Structure 1
Amino acid sequence: MSWRAGLGWCLLAGVLVFGWLAWNNRHKPAAVAVDPNKYDYIMHDFTMVALDKEGQESVTLEAPEMRRLASDETYTITDPTFLMPDKEGAHWKMVSKTGWVAAKGEKLRMEGDVVGTSPPGTAPSTFKTTLLDIYPDQHLASTDREVVLTQPGATMSGTGFEIDSQTQQYKFKSKVRSRYVPKSAQ
């Protein structure tokens, strides 16, 4: 082997060693920590209609703001208004301070000064509570909290409440109290 071949092999070995050292000592970006409370998107002043499996409206949501949480794909809503259709297409209207929607939309939750009103053209009734769970596919809304239901001439209250938006039937679950005021006394 000539001295030039030896020098060539030494230079090749040196280049490989320096290349390997440079590769291992390069600037590596720091691992980015994912904030579990980070939102991947925010919607402002919107109306969203959710359809059931048959393509019919199951619930409509109107709100000034909705945020989608990246970690579990749930939604938090500011001042939501949920509209649940009955079988004739008229809507129960439910409003609250805050709302939450499960990732797949199978459950909605309303919290803080929840007020629900019956559809126009039906016997007027209004209910108030602090928390309400809505199950759009089943056309049900329910709570285990205290509820006050007001109709012309009558006020009912109780703990636990369920309403079927399709049949417009509601039921109290416990501690039911009722007060009836005839029209002649009003």
Structure 2
Amino acid sequence: MNWRFALTAVLLVAAIVSGWSAWRQRADDATAATAQARSDYVLHDFELTALGKDGTESFTLRAPLLEQHPQDRTIALDQPLFLLPDRDGRYWEARARTGVVSADHDEVRLRDDVRVTSPEGDPRPVTMNTEQLNLYPETDIASSDVLVTVEQPGSTIQGRGLEVDLSSKRYTFKSQVKQRYVPTRR
């Protein structure tokens, strides 16, 4: 057997193995790239003011990160702060660690360490704390199906499930309601 033939056969086998390996690596990279689709757009450290159908301010949003997902057209938010105007032009503040805006932009789902406070200078300030809250800016409604704590001067109310009309400050608990009344000093 000729040594040139043996060397050629070894080099041919090595070329086939390396080509096959490179082809498999490229297929794995393409699959990984498809699985992690890029966002339609990303905003960093922004402030956005959304208008309602009548042209008035529906809400203002501030956050360090916003990403729109191309698959379902939802918008993911990191540490959002929503400013929701009331009838008098003052702002309710709604904060959370994360948030998602629905594809048709009519619902905002706030999650993890949610805190809502009534407008500054309100004669009867209200603070709501929960882990989940859904906001409907067009109707000034907020709702939750989990445990919610509402604090006002002199009282604390806790219950599971809540619906709030932000414009009138009327809220309704659904179940497991507990109230603690602490009289204020005069």
Normalization by structure 2: what TM-score? 0.78
Cα shift readout 1:45-79 (whole Å, capped 9, x = no counterpart): 11111111101111111100001101111110000
User: Mind listing any 5+ residue stretches in structure 1 that lack a counterpart?
Assistant: 1-29
Alignment of 1:111-150 (within 5 A): 111-122=111-122, 123-150=124-151
Trace 1:49-128 onto structure 2 (pairs within 5 A). Answer: 49-122=49-122, 123-128=124-129
**What are the Cα deviations for residues 107-166 of structure 1, in whole angstroms up to 9, with x where unaligned?**
110000000001123211111000000111111110011001111111100011111122
Alignment of 1:141-160 (within 5 A): 141-160=142-161
- C-alpha contact 1:85 1:165 (8 A) present in aligned 2: no
Residue in structure 1 matched with residue 174 of structure 2 by the alignment: 173
The Cα offsets for residues 74-95 of structure 1, whole Å up to 9 and x where unpaired, read as 1100000011111111111010
Structure 1 match to 2:20: none
d(CA) in 2 for partners of 1:91 and 1:37? 37
Q: Note the aligned Cα RMSD (angstroms).
A: 1.7
Alignment of 1:39-54 (within 5 A): 39-54=39-54
Gaps of 5+ in 2: 1-26
Superposition deviation, residue 100 in structure 1: 0.4
Q: State the 4+ residue runs in structure 1 displaced beyond 4 angstroms.
A: none
Percentage identity across paired residues of the two chains: 41
Q: TM-score, normalised by structure 1?
A: 0.78
- Name the aligned partner's letter for residue 89 of structure 2: G
Larger radius of gyration: 1
Q: Distance in 2 between matches of 1:178 and 1:116?
A: 19
1: distance between equivalents of 2:174 and 2:90? Answer: 26
